[in-house]
Amino acid sequence: MSKKFNTGGIKTLLGNSARMEQAVQENPQEVVRELTSHVALLPIAQIEANAGQPRRNFDQNALEELASSIRIHGLIQPVTVRRLHDKAYQIISGERRYRASQLAGLEEIPAYVRLADDQQMLEMALIENIQREDLNAIEIALTYARLMEESKLTHEEISDRVGKQRSTITNHLRLLKLPEEIQIALKDRAISMGHARALAGINGNLALQNSLLRQIIAEDLSVRAVEELIAGYQDGKKPKPAKPNVAMPEHLRNIQDQFRAFFGGKVDLKRDEKGKGQIVVKFDNDAELNRLIDLMEGK
């Protein structure tokens, strides 16, 4: 009969080299299955970078920005490490997250633990794990990402193995590019997959994404309502035909975009050469007007 290990058992195994080796010898499939199903919290001092890592240069400013985010939100996406021996692990993937966590001063980080030669078993365990009904959308997305990073599978190959449409795989992976606040809200089921997909369609506008997230939660908006708000913003963002030689300066366009991001809708900024002008905030109905008033009042 296969020997089962619970979460407490995994923690014990990771801290007991002899017991780990015995468990691997007795039932390696079960050990790999359990390791892929649980995230271990490892002391960062026990983790080392991989000398064979092809990436050598990491942008210091980008690392500092990620470290700042980690100080606030923690490490959302675990790193993946290979167990070398008792209390010693090596980065397989996520070295940028590992370095940023060091800068953030973390003493422990979440990690997926791999054994030395478990590639085939890992793929089987991950595919088995993704069939569980209790996983949230972010956990599913992280599993797809692991299949890509660690098993070198394409979207199409993952689709074949898990029996899902390729678009489903792609839509889940897009969630990992959302701001941390939105990922946390989705993970905590404060918003749905549909909400997150709509927010993922706003490329590069973090202010608008986070503003809409707060509005979704505060007003319990439906996915359709969010899609309509986004469509309204995008309509307002379309440039009007410019009069000859009166193109809006770059700094004014940036200000106009900030107003549009704040109000989540159509805002036009007009200014003449003397500095006079106006800001026009457009709305379609009383409900939209009330939403704008709530925004200005900080509700």
Kind plus residue range of the DSSP H or E element containing 32 = helix 28-37
Give the N- to C-terminal CA distance of the chain in Å, as an integer: 59
pTM, entire model: 0.50
pLDDT digits (tens, 9 = 90+) for 146-180: 888 878 889 999 998 888 899 999 999 999 999 88
Element (H, E) at 33: helix 28-37
154 vs 8 pLDDT, higher one: 154
Q: Which of 21, 30, 95, 228 is catalytic?
A: 95
d(Cα 123, Cα 18) in Å, to the nearest integer?
Answer: 26
H-helix or E-strand spanning residue 167: helix 166-175
For the chain, domain boundaries: 7-129, 180-296
**Which of 17-21, 147-151, 236-240, 286-290 shows the highest mean pLDDT?**
147-151
CATH architecture designation of domain 7-129: Alpha-Beta Complex (3.90)
Give catalytic status of residue 273 as yes or no: no
Query: Out of 73-77, 209-213, 223-227, 242-246, which region has the weakest mean confidence (pLDDT)?
Result: 242-246
pLDDT, mean of residues 122-143 = 79
C-alpha span between 266 and 243 (Å, rounded): 20
Average pLDDT over residues 208-223: 91
C-alpha dihedral, 163 to 167 to 173 to 177, nearest 10°: -170
- In whole angstroms, give the CA distance from residue 20 to residue 58: 35
Distances in whole angstroms, Cα of residue 201 to Cα of each of 56, 96, 183, 211, 226 = 32, 26, 14, 14, 11
Query: Is the model's pLDDT at 3 over the cut of 60?
Result: no
